[in-house]
Amino acid sequence: MKRKLHLWDLPEKQIYLKLDPIFSNLFFEKAYSKFNSWRVLGEHIGVKRADTTIPHWRSGKTCYPLVIVWKIARLCNISKYDIETHVVEIKCKTYLAKRGGNSGRSIYYPRLPVIIDESFFALIGHISGDGCIPTRRDKGIK
């Protein structure tokens, strides 16, 4: 069994990412050219304070929500495969509150799509087992 886990298979409201600087600049410029205003673009895609937020994202200082990336991609006819190949940082926010949420560490330069096969499940087993499979009966799950 081999299956691929693509960027669009992830929960879009919890995933935040950065695109590589050159592609990010082209991506946001293409969106800007549709409206000639960051504020109007923000109103269209549901971003408050877009005149400061979107240029901040474009500069690569922070990660931006995947849900917004998909809205811009649909608006500008940008392929989801193009976006997937230009991701340089990705993270998941687990607790979403009014002003963001908690997030773990970022994954830099992820290899997408993730191939799901036997070795993937072995890796997940090791990670969830704290990297250890005990051989003694008095340790681990009984």
DSSP letter for each residue of 5-50: E-GGGS-TTTEEEEE-HHHHHHHHHHHHHHHT-HHHHHHHHT-TTH
What is the pLDDT, as a whole number, of residue 99?
60
Q: Could you tell me what percent of the chain has a pLDDT over 90?
A: 59
Helical pair 66-76 and 21-35, crossing angle rounded to 10 deg:
60
Reported as a single tens digit per residue, the pLDDT across 102-134 is 667 888 999 999 888 888 887 777 767 655 555
pTM: 0.79
pLDDT band at 92; cut points 50, 70, 90: confident
Q: How far apart are CA 45 and CA 50, in angstroms?
A: 10
Reported as a single tens digit per residue, the pLDDT across 10-69 is 999 889 999 999 999 999 999 999 999 999 999 999 999 999 999 999 999 899 999 999
Q: What is the mean pLDDT of residues 68-81?
A: 96
